[in-house]
Structure formats: structure tokens, C-alpha cells
């Protein structure tokens, strides 16, 4: 990534040294909690990578809140608590939702008294029935498969301080939007928005997701590794589907396992990899931070935007 002239580049060893003067209370309980939702996650990485990151986000958020207060005073408007929004982008299966959950946990733990919430932009995918109607079911994840207007309105409502906002829910197990199920976003201090499209600039839009984010992260890795992680996740989703006929992966779980993996490989090659190359990777250089992952999901390099 020699072309990234506007980024500082750090090895993990360099990055971890930036955390020194404040104590992040990463207790046994906290580490257990993280292990409970992903027992594969490296706790060394949580400490080396995320402690400095959380510290840096603290500095940025304080700066952001101070500016919001000054701006309100300048404009003779009431001072209010404007949510700080963090966007997390990257390929399907690169580990965005796992990173987002670790960050949610750590921010909740460290930003004492502040309300941290997390949503995924998957909730703004059109339901399968609508994708079918439009003839784009095999374009799930591509820009046209999202209800961008609803997503932008949602982000605008969050920033404007609307008290209770319901967002639709996407389930990987059902492989669709779950009807009548919502998540409630209620005046967070920090909202983490995770999704493949958080840095995209769709041509038919005038306002973008990134107009509402205050710090953005792009999760990066070699596409061959991401394919491997995609297939491993497919295997895990099959493993949990055996006893549940309503689960999208049930038909694969009870059938021939090799054939199921062949199908998943085909979906990766036809849908998710082209989407990575055409629509996701080109947005990498817009991120404030690029986290590069290697074998075993370990983070080996970080890039931080200089200006
Ligand atoms: N840091 C990590 N350590 C171990 N496994 C991980 C890590 N991050 C992600 N994974 C695994 O990789 C797969 C894809 O991760 P996920 O967070 O679902 O990706 P995304 O949200 O980008 O689609 C999942 O099986 C997940 O458990
Ligand atoms: C819903 C998604 C677009 C979102 O990706 P995520 O980053 O949450 O894994 C993706 O998981 C997906 O379903 N892609 C369509 C092709 C496929 O079945 O992989």
C-alpha cells in the first residue's frame, strides 16, 4: 500500500506503544465477555490494538463534543449532546461485526456513564422479496440492494437527537430481514455503524453515510484469506442449523457437506468477491484508519490518516 501517502503506517509493536498514560480497566470479566461471543479472538490483540484505539477515540470524541458545544454557542442554539458515530467498513466476512462488538464492549467499559450502541447496515438491505421483485437477489450487498434513503434518514435522526428510533433487523440465519423485529436506538453518546457500504459514495445519492460518521475504520486483508474466513463462517452457520428447519442453512446442513461448500465458494466468487473489488476496496483510502489483518485474524499493521 505504498500509494497511501496521506497515512502513517505502524506495525503492531509500534502501535501498542501509543497507549501508556491511562489505565483501561480490562478486567477478567471483560475478557471473558469478549471470549463468550468469539472464543477464537486473540486477547493479546484486544490489548495491543484496541487499548490505544479506544484511547485515541476518547481524544477524538472529546474534541468533537467541544466543537459541537462551541458551534451551538456561536449559532445561539441550545447546546446538546450530539452522538459521535464510528463507521466500520470492509469486505463481507473480514471481521467487521466482530471488531464492532469488541469496540462496543470496550467503549461501554471505558467510557463510563456513556451510552454506546451498535447497528449494522445489513438491517437496511431490502427484504429478499423486494430484491427478487427487482431481479437483484444475487446482488445482495451491492449498493442497489440497500434502502439508502432509509439509512441516511436514520443517521440524520440519530444525529438530530430523536429520542427513540427503530431500525430493521437482518438475520444471517434467516438470510433475510426479520419481519416485525426492530432494534431501538435511543440517544447514544456513541453509535457504531458497521457495514460493507459505510464508506461508499453511491452515484445516485447526494448525502452519504460518511457525512454522518466522525471516525471511520476499514478492515483490510488478503482476499484469499477473506474467502477462507467466509467459508469457515459458512461452516459454523451450517453447524448451528441442523435442528432448525427455519434456518436458511438447514438445507445445506442436512445435505452433502462438500456440495454445500462448493455452493458457498461459488457465491463468494460470483457475488461477494466482485462486490469487494468493485464497490468496497475502492473506498479503503477514504477511511481514517485502515486495520490490516493476517492469518488467524491477527492485526499486523495499522494505517492512520495524517490530516
Ligand atoms: N478477531 C477475530 N478472531 C477470530 N475470529 C474472527 C475474528 N474476527 C472475525 N472472526 C471470524 O471470521 C468470520 C467473519 O467475521 P464477521 O465478524 O462475521 O465478519 P463481517 O461482519 O465482516 O462479515 C466469523 O466466523 C468470525 O467468527
Ligand atoms: C448480508 C451481506 C451482504 C452482509 O455482509 P456481512 O458483512 O454482514 O457478512 C452478506 O453476508 C451476504 O449475504 N452477501 C450475499 C451473498 C452471500 O450469500 O454471501
The bridge status of strand 165-171 relative to strand 215-220 is unpaired
Decide if pLDDT at 57 tops 90: yes
Between CA 129 and CA 126 the distance in angstroms is 8
Q: How confident is the model at residue 119 (pLDDT cuts 50, 70, 90)?
A: very high
Residue 123 has pLDDT above 90, yes or no: yes
Is residue 93 a known part of a binding site?
yes
Res 24: pLDDT: 62
Average pLDDT over residues 28-57: 86
* Ligand 2 pocket test, candidate residues 92, 96, 248, 279, most atoms within 8 A of CB: 92
**pLDDT of 30 strictly over 80:** no
For residue 273, what pLDDT band results from cuts at 50, 70 and 90? very high
Considering only residues 3 and 24, tell me which one the structure prediction assigns the higher pLDDT: 3
Segment among 28-42, 152-166, 167-181, 247-261 with least mean pLDDT: 28-42
Q: Which residues line ligand 1 (CB under 6 A)?
A: 38, 40-41, 90, 92-98, 229, 232-233, 236, 297
Q: Which of 28-32, 72-76, 106-110, 180-184 has the lowest mean pLDDT?
A: 28-32
The whole-angstrom separation of Cα 289 and Cα 4 is 11
Has residue 23 got a pLDDT over 70? no
Q: 119 in ligand 2 pocket by Cβ < 6 Å?
A: no
Quote ipTM for the complex.
0.99
Is residue 201 within a helix (H) or strand (E), and if so which, with residue range? none
Helix, strand and coil content of the chain, in percent to the nearest 5, comes to 50, 20, 35
> Region 248-276: what's the mean pLDDT?
96
CATH superfamily of 8-222+288-300: P-loop containing nucleotide triphosphate hydrolases (3.40.50.300)
pLDDT at 25: 59
- Over range 258-274, report the average pLDDT: 97
Mind listing the pLDDT tens digit for each residue in 199-248? 999 888 899 999 999 999 999 999 999 999 999 999 999 999 988 998 99
Residue of 96, 138, 140 with the most ligand 2 atoms within 8 Å of its CB, for mutation: 140
Q: Where are the domains positioned within the chain? A: 8-222+288-300
Residue 95, marked binder:
yes
Residue 79 has pLDDT above 60, yes or no: yes
CA distances from 71 to 66, 133, 155 (A): 9, 46, 20
Q: Is the pLDDT of residue 3 over 80?
A: no
Q: pTM value?
A: 0.96
For residues 287-291, give the mean pLDDT.
98
Confidence band of 38 (pLDDT split at 50, 70, 90):
confident
Atom of ligand 1 minimally distant from the CA of 40: 4
| Ligand 1 atom having least distance to the Cα of 98 | 17
Q: What's the pLDDT at 2?
A: 63
For residue 44, the model assigns a pLDDT of 86
Q: What is the reported pLDDT for 39?
A: 84
Tell me what the mean pLDDT of segment 250-258 comes to: 94
Cβ neighbours for 178, distance < 8 A, ≥ 6 positions apart: 168, 169, 170, 171
Q: Which residue do the cell numbers 434502502 mark?
A: 147
Residue-wise DSSP of 77-129 = -----PPEEEEEEESTTSSHHHHHHHHHHHHHHHSTT--EEEEEGGGGBPPHH
- Cα separation, 281 vs 304, in Å, equals 17
Average pLDDT, the chain: 94
For 255, list phi and psi in degrees, rounded to 5: -100, -160
Report which secondary-structure segment, H or E, holds 215: strand 215-220
Predicted confidence band at 20 (pLDDT cuts at 50, 70, 90)? low
pLDDT surpassing 70 at residue 289: yes
Amino acid at each position: 500500500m505504498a500509494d497511501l501517502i496521506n497515512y502513517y503506517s505502524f506495525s503492531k509493536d509500534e502501535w501498542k506503544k501509543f497507549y501508556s498514560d491511562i489505565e483501561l480497566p480490562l478486567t477478567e470479566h471483560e475478557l471473558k465477555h469478549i471470549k463468550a461471543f468469539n472464543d477464537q479472538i486473540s486477547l493479546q490483540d484486544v490489548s495491543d490494538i484496541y487499548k490505544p484505539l479506544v484511547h485515541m477515540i476518547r481524544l477524538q470524541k472529546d474534541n468533537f463534543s467541544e466543537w459541537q458545544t462551541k458551534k451551538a454557542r456561536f449559532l445561539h442554539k441550545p447546546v446538546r449532546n450530539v452522538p459521535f458515530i464510528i463507521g466500520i467498513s470492509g469486505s463481507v466476512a473480514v471481521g467487521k461485526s466482530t471488531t464492532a462488538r469488541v469496540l462496543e464492549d470496550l467503549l461501554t467499559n471505558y467510557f463510563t456513564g456513556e451510552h454506546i450502541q451498535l447497528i449494522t447496515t445489513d438491517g437496511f438491505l431490502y427484504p429478499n422479496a423486494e430484491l427478487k421483485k427487482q431481479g437483484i437477489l444475487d446482488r445482495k450487498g451491492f449498493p442497489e440492494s440497500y434502502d439508502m434513503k432509509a439509512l441516511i434518514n436514520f443517521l440524520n435522526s440519530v444525529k438530530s437527537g430523536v429520542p427513540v428510533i427503530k431500525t430493521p433487523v437482518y438475520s444471517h440465519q434467516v438470510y433475510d430481514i426479520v419481519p416485525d423485529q426492530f432494534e431501538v436506538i435511543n440517544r447514544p453518546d456513541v453509535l457504531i455503524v458497521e457495514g460493507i457500504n459505510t464508506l461508499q459514495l453511491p452515484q445516485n445519492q447526494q448525502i452519504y453515510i460518511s457525512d454522518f460518521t466522525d471516525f471511520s475504520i476499514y478492515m483490510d486483508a488478503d482476499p484469499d484469506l477473506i474467502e477462507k474466513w467466509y467459508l469457515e463462517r459458512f461452516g459454523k452457520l451450517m453447524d448451528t442449523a441442523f435442528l432448525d428447519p427455519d434456518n436458511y442453512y438447514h438445507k445445506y446442513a442436512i445435505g452433502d457437506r462438500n456440495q454445500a461448500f462448493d455452493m458457498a465458494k461459488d457465491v463468494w466468487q460470483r457475488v461477494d468477491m466482485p462486490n469487494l473489488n468493485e464497490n468496497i476496496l475502492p473506498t479503503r483510502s477514504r477511511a481514517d484508519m485502515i486495520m490490516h489483518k493476517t492469518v488467524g485474524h491477527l492485526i499486523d499493521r495499522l494505517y492512520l490518516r495524517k490530516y
